[in-house]
Structure 1
Amino acid sequence: MRTPERNYGQARTAGGAYATPLARRLASQAGIDLSRVTGSGPNGRIVARDITAAPQTGAGVATVPAGPSAEQVLALYRDVPHEEVPLDAMRRTIATRLVQAKSTIPHFYLTADVDIDRLLAMREEANAAAPTGGDGRPAYKLSLNDFIIKAWATALRRIPAANAVWAEDRILRFAQADIGVAVALDGGLVTPVIRGADSKSLTAISGEVRDLAERARARKLKPTEYQGGSSAISNLGMYGVREFAAIINPPHATILAIGASRREAVERADGSVGFAGRMSVTLSCDHRAVDGALGAQLLGVFRDIVEQPISVVV
């Protein structure tokens, strides 16, 4: 069969990413190699804005950092026993977006230690007061992460300049805080979004997180449930990780990494020494939208809320 005269290439690149018809036409006209473009559409799809935003060399080919080829890596380990695990669509999309994030976002990091004794006490009291149903089970069981989501959303609303995303030629600032919550899956992760978390009760957040996480693990989330958001939280504390820095999920300008809680010796106001519950958190910022002073202000407000948690329920 003869190829049509105005054929702009295959819809799927060699790397497994799909491109829209308009993106294929624009790439063909600009001489851009689609296999070297990172898609920003749903599931990593290459859309028109990815072509128009792609930097070009003198030859008109988008420049994207490239590591060793598959053939080069295989050659290194040809005589070493190994198993090849094919990449599924989720892992390909995650890899593409992580490369995009680290290659295009100027990350910087801010870390703080937060006292959590009052927060833990409030959580314990709230769970103890939960009414029981006919089966004798409590109506809710709040987790530390539920409080953190509420505190982070509240902090973003109190510092509206940081409740924003980067949109290349502008910054979008939001009137509500939609918080993505990283959920680990077999072979990857997904970040369902709690919409308007700043205005929701802790019990509502708890129920929504549990529902979204269950459906995420069953691969039953709708795209609208994991797309968008104004910031995100990644919590590895339950794995015993004390401190880490998370990669920003574009187009977000921030992500908060939560470490494990611990007991630590601290100096009290009277000079004596005691033990307190503490947690290390690291804020990753996109310097284009959130500079150092603004990021520090945001993290400080979050710390104040966690250390005085009654402020999120009154």
Structure 2
Amino acid sequence: MRRELLVPKLGLTMTEGTLIEWMISPGDRFDADQGLYVIESDKAANEVSAEGSGVLLEVTAELGMPLSVGSVIGYWDDDPQAATNHAVRAEPSAHAAAASASSPDSNAANAAPSAQTSRPPAAMNGQSGQSGQSGARGISTPLARRLARERGIDLTNLAGSGPRGRIRARDVELAPANSPASAPDVPLPATASRAAQVAQAATVRAATSIEKTIARRLVTSKQTIPHFYLSVEAEISAVQRLRSQLNDAQSNRRFTVNHFVVAAVGRALALVPEANRVWDDSGITSFAATDVGVAVHTERGLLVPVLRDVGRQALGEVARHASEAIGRAQAGQLNAAEMAGGAITVSNAGMHDVTLMTSIINPGQSMILGVGSVRQVFRPDAHGQPALKNEVGLVLSVDHRVLDGVTALKFLRQVVAAIERPASLLVT
């Protein structure tokens, strides 16, 4: 039976996605759970697998075009013999090009096999007909293939570092680009202006779809979310001492300062549940789970995996889940569901020697905590004498539509309390 292939909803806030790759071609048979195509949301590239075995009949959507959730991008049939009973159609852009190339006088050319049926599968996937890239599809991640296309790298020449030799984005990042030989340098005329020389030295590239989406979401956040900000300093010496003790006692796990901060944020959500809510068009949504997002810098941009129910976990569990999520983000393995939900994100810039960081709220959430680097400062002790302290600057950006200053301050005080008394984070 002829059936539709649709753009799936890959997250709670997803409204559209971009079709960036077909993993099979019209006429190809496939099995249940086999990858068919790749949809890029605002947060991740996701392989969409077949719900059952069948054959791809037709591709109706062009690569690179934004599509609403539920849009039809092609048709398939659960009858493996359907390809012999239906006319198999390729993607619309190629079909139109082939049609425009023909004319009433080209009967001899029309008698030859059409470009649609003779084209290799790689061309169907936006890979410029590189058969090597097509052959590497089954042993590489979608992000790796995307980066390889953008950088002109032949995946067949790469050794993958993933399971069973699977090529990851990091492998492509480390590979030299197969750039064409450059033209010989031609000296500029003596009369060329400095401005012309600078212009010739500049390079411009098209923004990727995910870069465009991130930019759009950040603009939307600043234009539609009324931010206000609270800043404090937290004494972090107790965290540093406990972290050293834990790392000395355990050889299989390394704790970071950020693990303590994330755990403290989760614990504060559990203690101040009125802060654990977000604004949406239908009203104010309050969450029962104490989910916390963690901002991670990757080669694709900033990604935010969301750790589940952090406030009800001990520090060891939080550290393990955070390390796993960060690793998956950096390897380009996150799916949209792993980056959905939660009321708050932690963005830590402490490793960059930043005193304070004022961050932009992630759309769909209501808070983001910017974490600075550790500073040594003198503060008066109980007797009024100067004492050297290790402090970290925290800036909480808050959506004023759902949280007022009193609630936000109450929440932030609980974060600081957990950081300054970190032993409480060792147990649930």
TM category (shorter chain) comes to 0.7 to 0.9
The residue type paired with residue 283 of structure 2 is R
For residue 56 of structure 1, what is the aligned residue in structure 2?
none
Deviation at 1:203, TM superposition (A): 2.0
- Name the structure 2 match of 1:148: 261
Structure 1 runs not aligned, ≥5 long:
1-16, 21-40, 49-76, 131-137
C-alpha distance in 2, partners of 1:229/1:252? 6
Q: Are the equivalent residues in 1 in contact too, given 2:277–2:366 (CA < 8 A)?
A: yes
Secondary structure of the structure 2 residue equivalent to 1:43: coil
Query: How many angstroms does 1:311 deviate by?
Result: 2.1
Q: CA deviation at 1:220?
A: 1.2
Change (3 A) 1:249 1:78: farther
2:216 matched to 1:96?
A: yes
Q: How far apart are residue 227 of structure 1 and its match?
A: 1.6
Rg larger in structure: 2
- After superposition, the C-alpha distances for 1:5-53 in whole angstroms (9 at most, x for unaligned) are xxxxxxxxxxxx9579xxxxxxxxxxxxxxxxxxxx94286759xxxxx
CA displacement at 1:146 relative to structure 2: 0.5
3-state SS in 1 of match to 2:42: helix
**Mean alpha-carbon deviation: is it higher for 254-263 or for 78-87?**
78-87
Paired position in structure 2 for 1:184: 297
- Describe the shift of the 1:295–1:78 C-alpha distance in structure 2 as closer, same or farther (beyond 3 A): farther
| Alignment match, 1:113 | 233
Distance 2:206 2:287 in 1: 40
1:193 to 306, 320, 329: 306
Instruction: Specify which of 283, 293, 305 is matched with residue 406 of structure 2.
Output: 293
Letter in 1 for 2:359: A
Q: Does 2:379 correspond to 1:266?
A: yes
CA distance in 1, matches of 2:317, 2:356: 28
Query: Offset of 1:152 from its aligned partner?
Result: 0.4
Listed as ranges, the matches of 1:151-300 within 5 Å are 151-300=264-413
For the residues of structure 1 that align with 2:278 and 2:246, how far apart are their CA atoms? 34
CA distance in 1, matches of 2:331, 2:247: 28
Separation in structure 1 between the aligned mates of residue 232 and residue 68 of structure 2, nearest angstrom: 39
Deviation by residue 1:46-80 (Cα, 9 ceiling, x = unmatched): 759xxxxxxxxxxxxxxxxxxxxxxxxxxxx9884
- Encode CA deviations 1:106-148: one digit per residue, 9 max, x unaligned: 0010000110111111111111221xxxxxxx12111110011
2:149 corresponding residue in structure 1: none
Within-5 A mapping of 1:63-82: 80-81=198-199, 82=202
What is the CA distance between 1:247 and its match in structure 2?
A: 0.4
CA contact (8 A) 1:142 1:202 kept: no
TM-score w.r.t. the length of structure 1 is 0.73
Describe the shift of the 1:177–1:115 C-alpha distance in structure 2 as closer, same or farther (beyond 3 A).
same
**Separation in 1, partners of 2:260, 2:308:** 15
Q: Determine the C-alpha separation between the residues in 1 that align with 2:68 and 2:403.
A: 27
TM-score, normalised via structure 2 length:
0.54
Structure 2 counterpart of 1:128:
248
Q: In structure 2, do the counterparts of structure 1 residues 19 and 186 end up closer, same or farther at CA, with 3 Å as the change threshold?
A: closer
Instruction: Report the equivalent of 2:42.
Output: 43
Q: Given that residues 156 and 298 in structure 1 are in contact (C-alpha distance below 8 angstroms), is that contact kept between their aligned partners in structure 2? A: yes
Amino acid at match of 1:254: M
1-structure distance, mates of 2:16, 2:324: 30
Q: Which amino acid aligns with 1:278?
A: E
1:147 and 1:202 in contact (8 A); partners too: yes
Q: Which residue of 1 aligns with 2:421?
A: 308
1:115 to 1:121, Cα distance in 2 relative to 1, 3 A: same
d(CA) in 2 for partners of 1:251 and 1:101?
9
CA-to-partner distance for each residue in 1:138-188, whole Å, 9 max, x for gaps? 121111100110000100111111011112342111122111100001241
CA distance in 2, matches of 1:120, 1:169: 43
Higher strand share: 2
| Structure 2, unpaired ranges of 5+ | 1-14, 19-39, 44-65, 70-194
Amino acid of the structure 1 residue aligned with 2:374: S
Per mean C-alpha deviation after superposition, the further-off stretch among 210-219 and 268-277 is 210-219
Q: Matched residues in 1 for 2:347 and 2:415: separation?
A: 15
Aligned amino acid, residue 398 of structure 2? C
Identity %: 32
Q: 1:79 to 1:105 in 2, by over 3 A?
A: farther
User: In the alignment, residue 158 of structure 1 is paired with which amino acid?
Assistant: L
Give the CA RMSD over aligned residues.
Answer: 2.2
Measured after TM superposition, the shift of residue 274 of structure 1 is 1.3
